[in-house]
Amino acid sequence: MKPAGLFFATFLAATLTGEVSSAADMSKGEYLARASNCIACHTMPDGTPYIGGLRMQTPVGVIYTTNITPDPETGIGRYTLQDFDNAVRKGVAKDGRQLYPAMPYPSYAKITDDDIKSMYDYFIKEVKPVRQKNSEPEIAWPLNMRWPLGVWNYLMTQPGPYVASRDFDAEWNRGAYLVQGPGHCGACHTPRGWAQQEQGLDERDVTFLTGNVIDNWSAPNLRGDPNTGLGRWNEQDIFSYLKTGHSRFGSAYGTMHEVVAYSTSYMTDADLKGIAKYLKSLPGTGDHSQPVWVYNNTVTEDLKAKRLTKPGSSTYLRQCASCHGIDGLGVGTNPPLAGNSSVFSADPVSLVRVILNGAPTSTIEGAPVGPGMPQFRSWLKDQEIADLVTFIRTSWGNKASAATSQRVAEIRKATDASDDRAVIFRMK
Q: What is the 3-state secondary structure (H, E, C) of 210-240?
A: CCEEECCEEECCCCCCCCCCCCCCCHHHHHH
Residue 272's alpha-carbon distances to 119, 171, 216, 268, 275, in angstroms, are 20, 10, 27, 6, 5
Whole-prediction pTM: 0.89
- CA-based R_g, the chain, Å: 22
Contact of 8 with 358, CB cutoff 8 Å: no
Q: What is the pLDDT of residue 22?
A: 67
Task: Please state the φ and ψ torsions of residue 423, each to the nearest 5 degrees.
Answer: -135, 120
d(CA 61, CA 76): 24
Containing 426, the helix (H) or strand (E) segment is strand 426-427
- Looking at this protein, which amino acid is placed at residue 95? D
Question: Measured between alpha carbons, how far is 285 from 300 in angstroms, rounded to an integer?
Answer: 32
pLDDT band at 5 (very low <50, low <70, confident <90, very high): very low
Residue 321's H or E segment, with its range, is: helix 321-324
According to DSSP, the β-strands at 362-364 and 367-369 are antiparallel
The pLDDT tens digits for 214-268 are 888 999 999 999 999 999 999 999 999 999 888 989 888 888 888 998 899 999 9
- 29 within 8 A of 119, measured Cβ to Cβ: yes
| Separation between Cα atoms, residue 360 and residue 222, nearest integer Å | 23
For residue 295, pLDDT over 70 is answered with yes
Sequence ranges of the chain with CATH classification 1.10.760.10: 298-427
* Cβ–Cβ < 8 Å for 219, 213: yes
Taking the C-alpha atoms of residue 42 and residue 104, their distance in angstroms, rounded to an integer, is 13
Residues 296-320 have a mean pLDDT of 96
Q: Residues 414, 252: contact at Cβ < 8 Å?
A: no
Topology of domain 298-427 in CATH is: Cytochrome Bc1 Complex; Chain D, domain 2 (1.10.760)
8 Å CB contact between 104 and 187: yes
Residue 398 has pLDDT above 50, yes or no: yes
% of the chain surpassing 70 pLDDT: 89
Q: How far apart are CA 323 and CA 338, in angstroms?
A: 13
Q: Using one digit for the tens of pLDDT, what is the confidence trace for 75-99?
A: 999 999 999 999 999 999 999 999 9
Specify whether the CB–CB gap between 119 and 32 falls below 8 A. Answer: yes
- Asked if pLDDT for residue 365 goes beyond 60, the answer is no
Res 384: pLDDT: 98
Residues pairing with 212 in the sheet: 219
Cα separation, 357 vs 355, in Å, equals: 6
| Nearby residues of 178 by Cβ (< 8 Å), 6 or more positions away | 35, 271, 274, 275, 278
pLDDT of 362 higher than 80 = no
| Tally of residues, the chain | 428
* Model confidence at 128: pLDDT above 90: yes
Residues 385 and 304 sit within 8 Å (Cβ to Cβ) = no
DSSP state of 150: H
Mean pLDDT of the chain: 87
